[in-house]
Structure 1
Amino acid sequence: MIDVCDVNEVPVGGGRAFTIAGRRIAVFRVAEGEVYAIDDRCSHDEASLSEGDVDLDELCVECPMHGSLFDLRTGKPRTLPAFTPVATYRSEVRDGRIFVEFSA
């Protein structure tokens, strides 16, 4: 697993993009100690998912460009216009740091 950042660098209820091994990954913090990581780029267009609104009850993020909702657990789109999932990455909080499992 790759050490990405201090847990406080990602606000609860929000996301932030990081470049890991040349790939843009969006990390979302949905609760204390609970994080999810997905590809930062919407599968429908070039929008940054880390800039989208997070629904903490549904565990999804809304693409800021066209409004597609992506499940943070599976990467699958819940609404159109996106129909292709984005990649997800196992992530965890350990000792106040966020780690993401990623292999290039």
Structure 2
Amino acid sequence: MSVASCDGWVRVCARAELLPGEFKTVWDGDTPIVVYNIDGDLFAIEDRCTHDDGELAGGALHGYELECARHGARFDLRTGAVLCAPAYVPTASFPVRECEGIIYTRDDRV
């Protein structure tokens, strides 16, 4: 679980706790957000496959593509774009920021 920070951002973890290829899942209200470290770059998408609402976190990682473990849909971690059926609708992507060695994200949809 996460601890909310000031400014409406959600604390994910310390940068040192999220090594390349690893992920952390946090919640912003009712929204599950998974943050991945891909070769030092951080990306956040909604932890929800738009095909059947299953979790995406922990699925096979293929570069910037995250594969849903349930039915094989793939999503681009950089944008949330759907790349492979059976999903046809993108998942939400979210901003990530780092401040004093701490990673933050938030659901910035209106």
> Normalization by structure 2: what TM-score?
0.80
Which deviates the most, 81-90 or 18-27? 18-27
Gaps of 5+ in 1: none
The answer to whether the aligner puts 1:70 opposite 2:75 as a matched pair is yes
Alignment equivalent of 1:28, drawn from 1, 17, 36 = 36
Q: Displacement, 1:53?
A: 1.6
Between the aligned residues of both structures, percent identity stands at 31
TM-score by length of 1: 0.84
Rounded Cα–Cα distance in structure 2 between residues aligned with 1:15 and 1:4: 10
* Counterpart Cα distance in 2 of 1:46 and 1:9: 27
Superposition CA RMSD, Å:
1.8
Equivalent pairs, count: 101
Q: Which structure's CA Rg is the greater one?
A: 2
* More relative contact order, 1 or 2 (CA 8 Å, 6+ apart): 1
Please list every run of 5 or more consecutive structure 2 residues that lacks an aligned counterpart in the other structure. 1-8
Tell me the CA shift for residue 22 of structure 1: 2.5
